[in-house]
Structure 1
Amino acid sequence: MKVCVISFDFWGYDAHIVEALCSKGIDAHHIKIGDVTHSNFSERATNAVSKIFFNKNLKTEKRQKFVLDSLEQLGHQDQILVLNPDTFDLSTLEKIRQYSDRLITYLYDSLDRFPVEQEKLCLFDKIFSFDIEDVKKYDFEKLTNYIYLPHLCYKKQNPEMDLFYITSYDNKRVDFIKHLTKRLLELALKFQIIVIGKKGWKHQLKNIFIQVPENLHIIFSIKKISHEKLPEYYKNSKALLDLTRENQYGLSFRVFEAMALEKKIITDNEFIKSYDFYNPNNILVLNETCSNLDQSFFELPYEKIPEDIYCQYTLDFWVDKIFNLKS
């Protein structure tokens, strides 16, 4: 079987899908458009002029041409999975469609956040979504994100922190962090929060958290932490924080990273209570003021998720489901 995964892959998650397919003996390839950039200053300058005066992004056109050129070299595929379908023109998706018997998409984000036109959606044989509300509204097939990290028992770890959180700048999340920080200080808990933003935001964020002593590790940065290094941060904490974006109703990868490393989860996502792995000993859903956060949550040991439930959220299960590898 020949399978191709086409995606931006900003965080590096999608490479794991291809690795899982190859481990099953499938001829799998990854067309990663995130690697396609302007090669020199002249191209960047030309693109800037094009966007300003002609409302045309030459980088987007370059990436879509790269996808079609790659498919021409790979030839016909039994299945093609397109992630981030919002990044493609309709005409490009129509051409991608011609290279495969089965065209699939998985929506990592809600349509509220990244809209995809109906004309594009109609090209897919199957549409999967992590978002509960989109599944209800558009009759997509529900499928969560997946566990891609190797399983590691909490007893084999010696975390120094009680709570760890890393996030990109987001008004909703930053507002919530203010309430949470106050509660964490009241409980004298050890925590590290990293907020990553663009230039100019660092000073603004420091003013928001002016009351937080620097030795409590509130870090504001414009430098991203690589996807490969994040597990080391996770392992050094008893619990991971996961805060939702506006209009997000699905579960982020943070939840599944926590499951793999047997870390407790603290979140504002009420929908997590509807999942079969939910255990109030392991998962705390915060109220608006974070007043329900208590030190006892960190003191009680992690309760292992039953294996039959855990397996349903692994990448192996996800790949079988997406590509219809098992009936």
Structure 2
Amino acid sequence: MKICVISFDFWNYDEHIVEELKRRGIVANHINIGAYQHKSFSARVQNTISKIVLKRNLKNKQRQEMILDQLKKLGKQDQILVINPELIEREYHEEIKKFAGKYIAYLYDSLARCPAEHLFDLFDEIFSFDKDDAKKHNFQLITNYNYLPESQLDKNPSFDMVFIASYDKRIEILSKITKKLDKMGLSYYAKIVGKKAWKENLNLDSKRTVFFTRRRLAHKDVPEFYKSGKVLLDLTRENQTGLSFRIFEAMALKKKIITDNQTIKDYDFFNPNNILLLKDDLSNLEKSFFETDYKELDPEIYRKYTLEHWVEKVFNL
């Protein structure tokens, strides 16, 4: 069997799908359009001028041409999975589909954030991590996946809470949370990543443990970052109901988690001992949550959220 995954793999999560397919003896390839680079300095300059003068990003077109070039080399695929298909124009989807026995889409952003309705008719099957979108459009609901090996319970972390996220409106909530943690005498470490991070002016209370940077943490270093905290913080993006990868990283690392994602209570792994579902006013953010240990999940429930199970469901293996 031959399977190809096409995605803009900014955080390097999608590569795990390909690795799992290969582990099963499948001929699997990953076309990562996020890894595309200009072929020369002059091409980079030309694209810059085009964006300024014509308001057109030539790199977007070149990325899509790259997909077709690579598929021509790889040949016909039994299945092609496109992750967040709105990043590819319809005319290119129509050409890509010619290489696929089965054409599949996975949406791990909500349609409110990344509209893709104009592409629905192209796919044989569409999966979504967003409960609202899945219900409204009759998609197959599937969460993100736990890609990490199961860890032992760590009872000696460096911080009570850790958090990593892109620079956006979530840092306003983070500011309120850290103020409460300061009053409770709890420690925390947060890393906020983004090109606009230098604009930070929120007067967060403990500057020494909240860092703003343009440089994102390497994917391979994320687990070690999370291991440094007893509790992980998960704050949802605007217009999102799907569960972030942080939920499943916490599951593998046996870390408790604080989240404002109200849909989490609907899942069978939800346990108030492990997961604190924040109220809007943060009134239930109490020190007692940090004083109890993580309770391990039933093995059958744990496996439902592993990468192995995810691959079986999406590709019908």
TM-score class, shorter? over 0.9
Matched residue, 1:209 = 203
Would the aligned equivalents of 1:84 and 1:107 in 2 still touch at CA under 8 Å?
Answer: yes
Counting aligned pairs with the same residue, the percent is 51
> Could you list the runs of 4 or more consecutive aligned residues of structure 1 that deviate by over 4 angstroms after TM superposition?
none
For residue 308 of structure 1, the aligned residue among 297, 300, 306 is: 300
Q: Deviations over 1:155-174 (max 9, x none)?
A: 4x521111000111112x12
Aligned equivalent of 2:276: 284
Q: Is structure 2 residue 188 aligned with structure 1 residue 187?
A: no
**How far 1:52 moved relative to its partner?**
3.1
Q: 1:269 to 1:110 in 2, by over 3 A?
A: same
Tell me the distance in 2 between the aligned counterparts of 1:26 and 1:197: 37
Distance in 2 (CA, whole Å) between partners of 1:64 and 1:43 is 16
The answer for the alignment partner of 2:157 in structure 1 is: 159
Contact 2:178 2:188 in 1 (8 A): no
Counterpart of 1:168, as a letter, is S
**1:83 and 2:112 aligned:** no
* CA deviation after TM superposition for structure 1 residue 76, in Å: 0.5
Q: Which structure 2 residue ranges, 5 or more long, are not aligned?
A: none
- SS, match of residue 228 in structure 1: helix
Give the Å deviation of 1:315: 0.2
CA deviation vs aligned residue, 1:159-208 (integer Å, no higher than 9, x gap): 1111000111112x122112111110111101011112225x42x42x31
1:110 partner letter: S
Matched, 1:57 2:57: yes
Give the Cα–Cα distance (whole angstroms) in 1 for the partners of residues 255 and 203 of structure 2: 26
Aligned partner of 1:125 in structure 2 is: 124
Residues 98-123 of structure 1: CA distance to partner in whole angstroms, max 9, x if unpaired?
111100010010011011142x2211
Q: How many Å apart are 1:84 and its aligned residue?
A: 2.2
One-letter identity of the residue aligned with 1:19: E
TM-score of the superposed pair, with normalisation by structure 2 = 0.97
Instruction: Check the 8 A contact 1:179/1:289 in 2, yes or no.
Output: no
> Residue 152 of structure 1: CA displacement?
0.1
Tell me, in whole angstroms, the C-alpha distance in 1 between the residues paired with 2:242 and 2:202: 29
Contact 1:193 1:218 in 2 (8 A): yes
| SS of residue in 2 equivalent to 1:233 | helix
What is the RMSD of the two structures over their aligned residues, measured on CA atoms?
A: 1.3
TM-score, normalised via structure 1 length = 0.94
